[in-house]
Structure 1
C-alpha cells in the first residue's frame, strides 16, 4: 500500500516537473517579449516621449524592461530548481515570480493613470512645446521630435496647421513658409510655403488626436503582453507550490 502511494507521489512529482519546466520555457519567451516592448518604446519612440511633460509613460517602459530582464533570469532559475528538485530554489523562484507580478501591476497602474491624464496633458503642453521651442537654439531634440511626429503621424500643428501662425518659428525663422516643411505630404525645401490640403496634412484634431491615438494603441499592446505574462505567472506560482509540497523535506 505504501509502495503504491510512493509510486503515485513519484508520478505526480514527475508530471509537475514537466509542467513547471514547460512553464519556464514559455515564461522565458514571455520575458523576452516584455523586455522587447519596453526597449522598443524607449528607443524607437524616444523622440515622441521627449514631447511629453510627464515622465509616467517612460517610467512604465523602464519598469517593463526591468521586469522583462528579471523574467528571463527567473526562467533560468526556475529550470534549475525544477531539474534539481531543490526546495530552497523553488522558494526563491516563487518569491521572484511574486515580485515580477507586483512590478507588472505597478506598470499597469501607471499606464492607466497616465491614460486618464493624457488628453489634458497633450492639450496643455504639446501646443506650447511646438510653438515656443521649434527650431529654437538649444531645442534641436524637440525640433527633430516635432518633424518626425508630423511626418510619421501625417499631421500638422498641435490642433491644426493654424497653430504655426503664432509660433516663434513663424516670427523669426520661417521666412515665406506658413508651416514647417515636415507638414508637407511630400517634404522638400520650402514646401511649407503653400498652406493647402493638397500640399500639407489637414487632420481634424491635429497632432494631438494622432498622438493620443498612437499612445492608446501602444498602451493596449503593453496591456495585452502584461496580462498574458501575469496569467503565466499565476499558473507558475501554482505549479511551484504544488511541486514544493510534493517534494520530501530535505534532511538537515
Structure 2
C-alpha cells in the first residue's frame, strides 16, 4: 500500500507546525528559569535561587537547570525539524526523533524531581536551627543573599526565618536589618522601629510551592507535546521509507522490462 501525495503533504504540514510550536514552547522553557533565577524581568524583584539555600533539597535548582538546558536544545531541534519536514530528509528526521526522545526523558525526569521536592505539603525546610544559622552567617557574607532576603521581607511583611530574633546574634551594629521595619524610611534607630512580627518561613514555603507547581506543570505539558511530535516525526519517516521502497520497486521493474526487451531482441 503506497502513500499518496496529499497524505504525505498533510503529515509534512502537521510535523512542520508541531516543530514550530515546539520552538515556541522551548522559549518558555528558557525564560521561566531566568524569570525566577534573576532580577532581569523583575517578576519577583529578587533572585529566588538565592533564597532556596534554606531548603534542604536542591531538586528545584536541578529541575530548572534541566528545563533551561532542554529549552536551548529544543529551540535548535525545532528549526532542524521544520527543515527536515520540508525536505523529507530521512537521516535528519531520524536524528531529530532520537534527540526529542532524550529531551522528553529529561523533562519528564525534571517533573519527577520537582514532584519529589514539593511533596504533599510543600518544600521541606532544613531544621530551624540550621536555617537560622545559615541566615546569620550568610546575611552579611553574601550580598546577593542579603539583597534577596531583604526584598522578600519587604514584599511579604516578615522578618527573619522564624522571627526577628534570628538576626540578634549577628556580629554587627544593627540588631536586625532595616527591611524588618514596617516603615523603612523612619528616622528612628533600627532597634526602635516597629518590626514585622511574623517570620518568613511560611511565605517562603508557600512561594516555593507555587513556583514548584508551575515548573512541574510546564515540564509535564511540554513532555506531553513532545510525544505528539515524536509520533508525527516517526510517521513521516515511515512515509519516506515507503516512498523510497516504491521508487526502488519501480526502478527494478524498469530494469526487468529492459532486460526482457533486450532478451527478445537478441532472439529475434
TM-score strictly above 0.5: yes
User: 1:208-227 residue pairs with structure 2 within 5 A?
Assistant: 208-227=201-220
Residue 173 of structure 2 is matched in structure 1 by: 173
TM-score by length of 2: 0.77
Structure 1 residue ranges, 4+ long, deviating more than 4 angstroms after superposition: 50-54
After superposition, the C-alpha distances for 1:131-164 in whole angstroms (9 at most, x for unaligned) are 34433xx443433233223123321111123433
After TM superposition, the structure 1 stretch with the greater mean CA deviation from structure 2, 12-21 or 110-119, is 110-119
Aligned with residue 84 of structure 2, among 64, 81, 85: 81
1:231 aligns with 2:224: yes
Equivalents in 1 of 2:196, 2:31: separation in Å?
32
Q: Decide which structure has the larger Cα Rg and report it.
A: 2
CA contact (8 A) 2:55 2:125 kept: no
- For residue 40 of structure 1, the aligned residue among 27, 35, 40 is 35
1:90, 1:118 → 2: CA distance?
A: 41
Counterpart position of 2:197: 202
CA contact (8 A) 2:29 2:67 kept: yes
2: CA distance, partners of 1:186 / 1:67: 44
Q: Which runs of 5+ in 1 are unaligned?
A: none
- Structure 2 distance, partners of 1:16, 1:88, is 17
Aligned residues: 234
Cα pair 2:57 2:124 within 8 Å, conserved: no
Match of 1:129 in 2: 134
Q: 1:53 to 1:119 in 2, by over 3 A?
A: closer
Deviations 1:99-149, CA, capped at 9 Å, x for gaps: 1111112212222232248323264532221234433xx443433233223
C-alpha change, 1:119 and 1:49, in structure 2 (3 Å) is closer
Q: How well do the aligned residues superpose, as a CA RMSD in angstroms?
A: 2.5
